[in-house]
Chains A and B, each alone.
Chain A
């Protein structure tokens, strides 16, 4: 059934599917798009490549009618159009699959799809069409299943099928693979190639260079709101694409060997926990051990117990005392503040609203977790000490911001992450748990953060990193374990495993991983 279409060979003699000329969008503090030109032919898979904040998302929203450009021209199938809103975009034949799904968990697949249609429907007939379209494109879906029982990969299929039902001529996908296993990614690519062979144009937004090289016919690279180049990805190297994307060489981490004593600092044994959230994942018999001087990586797709494990480790969801030990002492029953006092630092996935209080200044946010560092005396705040602490953190960890008085929410994701990581490191922890250290962070800041974590571990701190990015885990970790369906696999030294093996484990650890349809169980 895998018929790989012939590679795309230049635009056909007819009109272009989409042509943007001089698209400009200004926001009060930033020019998000500055004179963007973009051409997409029918049947072309076109990559839009760029870092966070390069203006990719704004551009896609303009094409989808969710945002109006201040200047510029949109030509659709050779005709100039004004796309006032998303439903107009859908009428023209433009579909968009968002990075974050907008599905109702308590409804079935077909009910969710019906909600998004602009036309009247009957559920039975629609269910048939869903079944038919989903099989035709190799995206099997049961229309009557409830969405909360679907894996992340399956939810993405719902979004894609929803678009396909409207027979789009242009499909926009925003970072579609960030939630998929390596095997599921291959499956998605097959579908996209088939669609392209039928004449559907695809705009593929990503910052993952190897994906773009294997999938896309052409690429437009953006940086700082401008187009910095166009390329044929298959004729470029990752390094040359990265140069176009970030304007310099891709930074590489240095990973020295650890020579100190490797005694265990953070140990988890037989940790089981039922989540408060009815759609959460229960943890089953988790065992792990993080030693001084190492970084242990936990791979897996979010929704497999990551949030629950992190809350259990940090103390936000305390449990039984003996399940978690820090330096030999049981801490499983303590709250996050008490664990921090004993030397456990935590960097959560959500920076705004969890790791930092959005409207408060960085100085006030220093007090949030570092109050024991002399920022509070006899129950009273010491604003000057907090200011100094924040200032030191800003300098030491290269946080680009307006100073200690800047509100947390005014910082970019990467800079806020540097501040939070720095704040935790300055408390001299003996163990540190970090979730998605570089999620939504630009390449430069990501490299800095990774190097910071490596250096910290080599100073004798035990570090546990939970990440969806396999490449990142392979770059910084010493050992890697996979969390799938609430169970944790054994931690394997990174030299003894590879992305393929990890991907198989992600797809369902304790069922026979080999004969199971890999993408099915991103669950």
Chain B
């Protein structure tokens, strides 16, 4: 007999509790992990979650990492609400970076104020284009976007590898697979001396406000949500299913593309093979952890950024392998999905014998 039974209505309380439970379980299992590795869990969590925020530079790094995560997750959440699963934001990020980076390379030596804005536009278009391909495949041939977006992420990654090994390789880069360093007109200038936080974080902040307005107030977002909750009702109302697919994938590609520009015109400063530490994939977790809600995503993005920083700190201070970041991300998603089951289901009470 199954242990779970459906709730009469989904639990709103559980919907809010679920991320907190997931965070709690992640910490618990993380402690066990640290113990088994012979590290004191309290000290380890200190390194993981406190130490990164103990300095101004730490906060700056937090913003640098949270920015792209939040921006991508805002775009993904629109699609996820409509049950359009773009899991290839990493590829859209890369193509955005390629498009914008191409502009930077072409404009090298031009000192003009329009270079950076043009890069952002090119990055947005590049990401949107990479999202439009699966949209076309889905609406034209009914190819599942879950597969096509992921496959195109690999295509994008090989395209990047080709470009930095071939046409765009820095002639003076000692054969490293990387482009020239971008000039100042093609970079977001840092706000503070010695810190990397820059104006690209404003893009994420503005986008978050825009997405909040869009999801909570616009008729278009309403239509997308109906399409996700009850496809037959969307058809009944006359909302176009194709349009839902196009908007979801193009929009999430667009935000991922802009995030790509934020990286190459920000902390990275060039095109190379390490422009993203998996932001496109981590943003999927951010979107769900934030309950597909614009404000929730901001909080979740900050937490996920902290995990990245903590992972780096743990590598240095505790000599733990780099996989520790992925492990914590994975646990978080795993426990979140597990806890989310209880939004729609509850434990079945033990069947009682019939009493005379």
Enumerate chain A interface residues (CB-CB to B < 8 A).
28-29, 68-74, 80, 82, 84-85, 314-316, 335-340, 346, 348, 350, 353-360, 364, 367-369, 371, 376, 379-381, 407, 409-410
Q: A29-B8, A379-B220, A381-B219 are in contact. List 14 more A-B contacts (CB 8 A).
A: A68-B352, A70-B352, A80-B356, A314-B236, A336-B235, A336-B238, A346-B236, A354-B230, A354-B233, A356-B233, A359-B10, A360-B226, A371-B237, A376-B219
Within 8 A of A (CB), among B214-262: 217-220, 222, 226, 229-230, 232-233, 235-240
Pairwise interchain contact A82-B354, C-beta atoms closer than 8 A: yes
Q: Does B113 contact A (CB under 8 A)?
A: no
Most buried by A among B226, B235, B353: B235
A367-B222, A380-B219 are contacts. A350–B232 as well, Cβ < 8 Å?
Answer: yes
- B218, B232, B238, B354: which contacts A354 (Cβ < 8 A)? B232
Q: Does B9 contact A (CB under 8 A)?
A: yes
Pairwise interchain contact B8-A380, C-beta atoms closer than 8 A: no
Interface string of B331-356 (1 = CB under 8 A from A): 00000000000000000000111111
Pairwise interchain contact B238-A353, C-beta atoms closer than 8 A: no
Within 8 A of A (CB), among B108-131: none
A85 to B2, CA, bound (A): 13
In the complex, which residue of chain A has the Cβ closest to the Cβ of B231?
Answer: A353
A316 to B92, CA, bound (A): 34
A371 to B233, CA, bound (A): 14
Pairwise interchain contact A84-B351, C-beta atoms closer than 8 A: yes
Pairwise interchain contact B219-A353, C-beta atoms closer than 8 A: no
> In the complex, what residues of B have CB within 8 A of residue A354's CB?
230, 232-233, 235-236
- B10, B218, B226, B355: which contacts A71 (Cβ < 8 A)? B355
- B218, B236, B353, B355: which contacts A348 (Cβ < 8 A)? B236
A29 to B217, CA, bound (A): 34
A92 to B79, CA, bound (A): 52
> In the complex, what residues of A have CB within 8 A of residue B354's CB?
68-69, 71-74, 82
A314 to B237, CA, bound (A): 10
> In the complex, what residues of B have CB within 8 A of residue A82's CB?
353-354
Q: How far is the CB of B346 from chain A (nearest CB, A)?
A: 11
Pairwise interchain contact A380-B236, C-beta atoms closer than 8 A: no
A409 to B304, CA, bound (A): 35
A73-B356, A381-B218 are contacts. A353–B230 as well, Cβ < 8 Å?
Answer: yes
In the complex, which residue of chain A has the Cβ closest to the Cβ of B220?
Answer: A379
> In the complex, what residues of B have CB within 8 A of residue A70's CB?
352, 355
In the complex, which residue of chain B has the Cβ closest to the Cβ of A348?
Answer: B236
In the complex, which residue of chain A has the Cβ closest to the Cβ of B235?
Answer: A316
A338 to B240, CA, bound (A): 11
A72-B354, A359-B10 are contacts. A381–B236 as well, Cβ < 8 Å?
Answer: no
Q: How far is the CB of B4 from chain A (nearest CB, A)?
A: 16
A71 to B356, CA, bound (A): 7
In the complex, which residue of chain A has the Cβ closest to the Cβ of B349?
Answer: A68
Pairwise interchain contact B8-A28, C-beta atoms closer than 8 A: yes
| 28 A–B contacts, CB within 8 A, in A order | A68-B353, A69-B354, A71-B355, A80-B356, A82-B354, A315-B238, A316-B236, A335-B240, A336-B235, A337-B239, A338-B238, A339-B238, A340-B238, A346-B236, A353-B232, A353-B233, A354-B236, A355-B233, A355-B236, A357-B226, A358-B230, A359-B229, A360-B229, A367-B222, A371-B219, A371-B237, A381-B218, A409-B9
A68-B354, A69-B354, A72-B354 are contacts. A380–B218 as well, Cβ < 8 Å?
Answer: yes
A381 to B220, CA, bound (A): 9
A409 to B356, CA, bound (A): 36
In the complex, which residue of chain B has the Cβ closest to the Cβ of A339?
Answer: B238
A339 to B235, CA, bound (A): 12
A331 to B220, CA, bound (A): 24
> In the complex, what residues of A have CB within 8 A of residue B229's CB?
357-360
In the complex, which residue of chain B has the Cβ closest to the Cβ of A378?
Answer: B219
Pairwise interchain contact B230-A381, C-beta atoms closer than 8 A: no
Q: How far is the CB of A389 from chain B (nearest CB, A)?
A: 15
> In the complex, what residues of B have CB within 8 A of residue A350's CB?
232
A315 to B353, CA, bound (A): 52
Pairwise interchain contact A357-B233, C-beta atoms closer than 8 A: yes
Most buried by B among A28, A72, A381, A409: A381
> In the complex, what residues of B have CB within 8 A of residue A353's CB?
230, 232-233
A315 to B240, CA, bound (A): 12
Q: How far is the CB of A21 from chain B (nearest CB, A)?
A: 9
A369 to B1, CA, bound (A): 41
A82 to B240, CA, bound (A): 53
> In the complex, what residues of B have CB within 8 A of residue A381's CB?
217-219, 222
> In the complex, what residues of A have CB within 8 A of residue B8's CB?
28-29
> In the complex, what residues of B have CB within 8 A of residue A80's CB?
356
A369 to B235, CA, bound (A): 11
> In the complex, what residues of A have CB within 8 A of residue B220's CB?
379
In the complex, which residue of chain B has the Cβ closest to the Cβ of A73?
Answer: B356
In the complex, which residue of chain B has the Cβ closest to the Cβ of A371?
Answer: B219
A146 to B232, CA, bound (A): 28
In the complex, which residue of chain A has the Cβ closest to the Cβ of B229?
Answer: A357
A379 to B220, CA, bound (A): 7
> In the complex, what residues of A have CB within 8 A of residue B237's CB?
336-337, 368-369, 371
A381 to B351, CA, bound (A): 47
In the complex, which residue of chain B has the Cβ closest to the Cβ of A375?
Answer: B219
> In the complex, what residues of A have CB within 8 A of residue B219's CB?
367, 371, 376, 379-381
> In the complex, what residues of A have CB within 8 A of residue B218's CB?
379-381
In the complex, which residue of chain B has the Cβ closest to the Cβ of A360?
Answer: B229
A359 to B7, CA, bound (A): 13
Within 8 A of A (CB), among B263-295: none
Pairwise interchain contact B238-A337, C-beta atoms closer than 8 A: yes
A376 to B226, CA, bound (A): 15
Q: How far is the CB of B356 from chain A (nearest CB, A)?
A: 5
A316 to B233, CA, bound (A): 10
A298 to B236, CA, bound (A): 21
Q: How far is the CB of B125 from chain A (nearest CB, A)?
A: 23
> In the complex, what residues of B have CB within 8 A of residue A379's CB?
218-220
A23 to B220, CA, bound (A): 51
Pairwise interchain contact B238-A410, C-beta atoms closer than 8 A: no
A340 to B219, CA, bound (A): 17
A360 to B222, CA, bound (A): 11
Q: How far is the CB of B22 from chain A (nearest CB, A)?
A: 22
In the complex, which residue of chain B has the Cβ closest to the Cβ of A62?
Answer: B354
Q: How far is the CB of B243 from chain A (nearest CB, A)?
A: 11
> In the complex, what residues of A have CB within 8 A of residue B240's CB?
335
Q: How far is the CB of A409 from chain B (nearest CB, A)?
A: 7
Pairwise interchain contact B233-A380, C-beta atoms closer than 8 A: no
A29 to B9, CA, bound (A): 12
Most buried by A among B219, B239, B354, B356: B354
A339 to B356, CA, bound (A): 60
For the complex of A and B, 5 pairs with smallest distance between CB atoms: A337-B238, A336-B238, A354-B232, A376-B219, A335-B238
Q: How far is the CB of B295 from chain A (nearest CB, A)?
A: 18
> In the complex, what residues of A have CB within 8 A of residue B235's CB?
316, 336, 354
In the complex, which residue of chain B has the Cβ closest to the Cβ of A338?
Answer: B238
> In the complex, what residues of B have CB within 8 A of residue A339's CB?
238
Q: How far is the CB of A73 from chain B (nearest CB, A)?
A: 5
